[in-house]
C-alpha cells in the first residue's frame, strides 16, 4: 500500500517560534513528522512525499537516503499550493489501487491508524469543541459519511477530519471547483464520490489527535504527549534518528 504524505507549505503560523519546515518542528523530543512515520501501519510499504514551498530542499536533504523506516520515498513537487485535495492530486500518476494519505505535521493514534488502513475507503476522525475550524463530518448509524463541510460557519457536528484518509484511484477522477477560499477541498471530493459514484466512506474515530499548526497547539501537544508517555512508562518522545 502506498502513502501520500503532504510535506509542502510555508509554515507561516509557526514562523515566530521556529525557522524551517514545520514538519521538522521538535515536539517532545523529536520532529513532529517522525510521529507519523513511526505510526504508519505495516501495510504501507512505499512513501510519496509531496513537497514544495520555501522549505522543499530542507525536506529533501533530511530524507537524502531516499527511504524512511525501511520504506522507499518518491518526491513529487506541488508547484502551487492550492489546498489539500490539490496536493493529493499532484501524486495521481504514481498511485496504484488503494492508498493512504495525510498531512505530515499532525500526531495520530496508532491504534486508529491500523483500523483506518483496513477500510476500503475511510477517514481518520476526532471530536473537538471547536469544529468550525476544521473539516466537519456527519455519519449515518453504520458509521459512513453522509455529509462533509469545510469550516462551516454554523454548527453541523463536532466530528472532524484529522487529516488522514484511505482512498482509491477514484479519488483522482473527481472534478471539483475551487472553494470560496480559492482552494480545492477534500470534502468536496468525498461528497462527489458518495453522490456521483455511490462510494461508501467509513469514519474511524480516534482516541487522540494533536495538530501542530501554531504555538498553543504545540504546547498542548507536548503536554498531552508527556502525559501519554508517563502513563505508558516511556520517558520523553524518543529521539527518532535523522534519515541519512
pLDDT in 10s for each residue of the chain, 244 residues: 999 999 987 656 655 666 788 899 889 888 999 999 999 999 999 999 999 999 999 999 999 999 999 999 999 999 998 999 999 999 999 999 999 999 999 999 999 999 999 999 999 999 999 999 899 999 999 999 999 998 888 999 999 999 999 999 999 999 999 998 899 999 999 999 999 999 999 999 999 999 988 888 888 888 888 887 665 554 444 433 333 3
Name 120's Cβ contacts closer than 8 Å, sequence gap at least 6: 98, 166, 168, 200, 202
Q: Give the pLDDT of residue 28.
A: 87
Q: From 61, 65, 38, select the one nearest 51 (Cα to Cα).
A: 61
Classify each residue of 6-42 as buried b or exposed e, where b means 16 or more C-beta atoms within 10 Å of its C-beta: bbbbebeebeeeeebbbbbbebbbbbbbbbbbbbbee
Domain span including residue 137: 2-232
The verdict on residue 242 lying in a domain is: no
User: 169-188: per-residue pLDDT in tens?
Assistant: 999 999 999 998 899 999 99
Q: What grid cell was written down for 43?
A: 501495510
Q: Which of 170-200 are b and which e, b meaning 16 or more Cβ less than 10 Å from the residue's Cβ? A: ebbebebeeeeeebbbbbbbbbbbbeeeebe
Give me the pLDDT at residue 93, please.
93
Look at residue 238 and tell me if it is in a domain. Answer: no
Paired sense of beta strands 135-139 and 145-150, if any: antiparallel
Give a yes or no: residue 200 inside a domain: yes
Query: For position 212, what pLDDT does the model report?
Result: 86
In a domain, 17, yes or no: yes
In a domain, 237, yes or no: no
Domain total for the chain?
1
Give the other-Cβ count within 10 Å of 145's Cβ: 25
**What is the pLDDT, as a whole number, of residue 47?**
98
Q: Is residue 244 part of a domain?
A: no
pLDDT value at residue 167: 98
pLDDT value of position 99: 98
What pLDDT shows up at residue 216? 84
**What pLDDT was estimated at residue 36?**
96
What is the rounded CA–CA span in Å between residue 134 and residue 116?
20
Query: What is the Rg, in whole angstroms, of the alpha carbon atoms belonging to the chain?
Result: 17
* 9 assigned to some structural domain: yes
DSSP summary character for residue 180: T
CATH of the domain at 38: 3.90.550.10
Residue 238 sits at φ, ψ, to 5 deg, of 80, 165
Stated pTM of the model: 0.90
Amino acid at each position: 500500500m502506498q502513502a501520500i504524505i503532504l510535506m509542502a507549505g510555508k509554515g507561516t503560523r509557526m514562523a515566530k517560534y521556529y525557522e524551517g519546515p514545520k514538519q521538522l518542528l521538535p515536539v517532545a523530543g523529536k520532529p513532529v513528522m517522525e510521529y507519523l512515520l513511526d505510526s504508519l501501519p505495516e501495510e504501507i510499504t512505499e512513501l510519496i512525499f509531496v513537497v514544495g514551498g520555501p522549505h522543499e530542499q530542507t525536506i529533501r536533504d533530511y530524507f537524502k537516503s531516499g527511504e524512511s523506516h525501511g520504506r522507499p520515498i518518491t518526491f513529487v513537487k506541488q508547484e502551487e499550493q492550492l489546498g489539500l485535495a490539490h496536493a493529493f492530486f499532484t501524486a495521481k500518476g504514481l498511485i496504484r489501487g488503494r492508498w493512504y494519505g495525510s498531512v505530515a505535521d499532525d500526531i495520530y493514534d496508532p491504534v486508529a491508524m491500523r483500523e483506518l488502513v483496513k477500510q476500503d475507503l475511510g477517514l481518520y476522525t476526532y471530536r473537538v469543541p471547536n469544529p468550525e475550524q476544521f473539516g466537519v463530518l456527519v455519519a449515518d448509524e453504520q458509521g459512513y459519511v453522509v455529509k462533509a463541510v469545510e469550516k462551516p460557519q454554523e454548527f453541523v457536528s463536532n466530528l472532524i477530519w484529522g487529516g488522514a484518509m484511505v482512498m482509491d484511484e477514484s479519488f483522482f477522477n473527481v472534478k471539483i471547483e475551487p472553494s470560496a477560499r480559492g482552494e480545492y477541498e477534500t470534502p468536496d471530493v468525498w461528497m462527489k464520490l458518495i453522490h456521483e459514484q455511490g462510494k461508501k466512506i467509513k469514519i474511524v474515530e480516534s482516541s487522540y489527535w494533536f495538530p501542530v499548526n501554531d504555538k498553543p497547539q504545540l504546547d498542548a501537544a507536548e503536554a498531552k504527549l508527556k502525559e501519554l508517555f508517563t502513563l505508558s512508562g516511556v520517558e520523553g518522545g524518543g529521539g527518532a534518528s535523522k534519515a541519512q
